[in-house]
Structure 1
C-alpha cells in the first residue's frame, strides 16, 4: 500500500498540469521544467505548473518565472493525497480557491459519484465513493458492466463518503461500473486503473494520474493544491 497518509509532502521538480493558449504545444501537460526556468509566454497563454508549493498559474505575455514560494505543508494538503479510504473523511467537500467554484472531492483517491471517466486507484481495498451533496439522505447504485451485478451504497444526511462494497463488487484493472446517484437524471460510468506512484509526493501522484488519463482526479489535485498554497500568477 502507498503510505500517503503519513508521507511528508514535497516535490523534487516542476510539472505542467494544465496548458492553454498559443504556447500550449511548447508546454504540454506532463512536461518537466527546471525550477529556475523562465517561460516566454504569449498573450492568451495560461500554464498551470505543479511544484513544491502547490499549483501556480503562469500567464502571458512576457517572461514568467516558474519557481513557487516554497514547500507545501499542512494537514489539509496531506489529507488531499492520503490513501486511507473512507476512514479519514471529516468534511464532505471543498470549494475551489478561485471564485468559490463547484464542490469538489476533498481527496484525490475518492470515486466521485457524479463524474464518469477513468478512475485511478493505488489500493483497491481502500476504494471509497464520494457524493457532492451531503445535505440530505441518498444512495448510489453501483452496477458492474458485463454481468449486471449491482449493490446499493446508502448515505445518511451529512455523510459524503462511504466505503465501496469491495466484497460484493471488487474493483480491478479495467473494471467498469455504472453509478446512479439519487437525484441525478443520468448515471455515470467509471473505469478503474490500478497505479503505483513512483513516490508519495505530489509529482509521483500527479505523474501516475496523468499516465492513466485520470483527469477528474487531476482536477482535484490541481484545485486542492491551489487552495492549500494559494494561486500564484506570474509577472511579466
Structure 2
C-alpha cells in the first residue's frame, strides 16, 4: 500500500472560483529558475507570454487539458486554451481516467493514500481502493477515538462513506487489520466547489489537497475520452 502526501469559508471559496473563472489557464506545477515568477496557483490570461529559462518546467491547466512547458523558450498561454477547446469536456467532477487502477474521480477518497482531502459540503463521499480482487475490511478511526468498520466485497472498488461516522473537518485514520497498515486523511470542506477544472485546481492548490490535484492534472493530460 502506498502512503503519500496526495475550501474554508463561503467567501473564500467564491473568491477563488471567481478569480479562476476570469483566467484562461492556471499554473499547477513549477520547477526551475523561474518558479517564483510562475508559482502554483498563478492564473494567466490567454494573451500571456511565458518566458522560461533552461531548467524550467511549468505545467499549465486549461479548461479541459493540461500542458507541460520546458525551458528555455517563449510560449503563449493560448496554446493551452486551444488544446482545451479541441478536447472540451463536461463537468470536471465526472472526470475519468483511462487506467482502471486509478481513482475514477477527484472527489473519491483513495483509501491507500494519506494527505489532505477536499470534500464538497453536502456531497457524497466514496471510499475507493485500487485492488478489488479480494474481500477486504478496514477501520475508520476518528480523532475522538471512535471506530467504524467498513467491508469491501470481492470485486467492489468503491463504497459510500459510512453514515454512522459523521464527516467533519478533522483527521481520520484508516486502518487495515489484516496487514496492520494505516493511512491518514484530513478533510477540508468546500462550501461552493467550482464547476470548472481551472477553478478546481485553484481551490485544491490553495487548500493543499495535493493528491486530488495530481489526479486532476494527470486526467487532463490524457486528452479527451
**TM-score bucket (shorter structure):** 0.7 to 0.9
Aligned-pair Cα RMSD in Å = 2.6
Q: Which stretches of structure 1, 4 residues or more, deviate above 4 A after TM superposition?
A: 182-185
2:126 alignment partner in structure 1? 128
Aligned-partner Cα distance in 2 for 1:46–1:220: 19
Q: The residue matched to 1:70 in structure 2 has which SS?
A: helix
Aligned-partner Cα distance in 1 for 2:93–2:58: 23
Q: Does 1:73 align with 2:68?
A: no
Q: TM-score, normalised by structure 2?
A: 0.79
Q: TM-score, normalised by structure 1?
A: 0.76
1:19 alignment partner in structure 2? 30
Q: Does 1:50 align with 2:61?
A: yes
Where does structure 2 lack aligned partners over 5 or more consecutive residues?
Answer: 1-20
1:125 Cα deviation from its structure 2 partner: 4.7
Where does structure 1 lack aligned partners over 5 or more consecutive residues?
Answer: 1-9, 84-90, 96-101, 231-236
Aligned-partner Cα distance in 2 for 1:110–1:130: 6
2:152 alignment partner in structure 1? 155
Which of 127, 142, 145 is equivalent to 2:143? Answer: 145
Q: Does 1:40 align with 2:51?
A: yes
Q: Deviations over 1:12-43 (max 9, x none)?
A: 52100111112111100000112122211112
Q: Deviations over 1:57-79 (max 9, x none)?
A: 111111122222232434xx64x
Tell me: CA distance 1:37–1:163, structure 2 relative to 1, closer, same or farther (3 Å): same
Report if aligned partners of 1:23, 1:41 keep a CA contact under 8 Å in 2.
Answer: yes
1:52 Cα deviation from its structure 2 partner: 2.1
1:209 Cα deviation from its structure 2 partner: 1.5
1:177 alignment partner in structure 2? 172
1:184 Cα deviation from its structure 2 partner: 5.5
Report if aligned partners of 1:14, 1:35 keep a CA contact under 8 Å in 2.
Answer: yes
Aligned length: 201
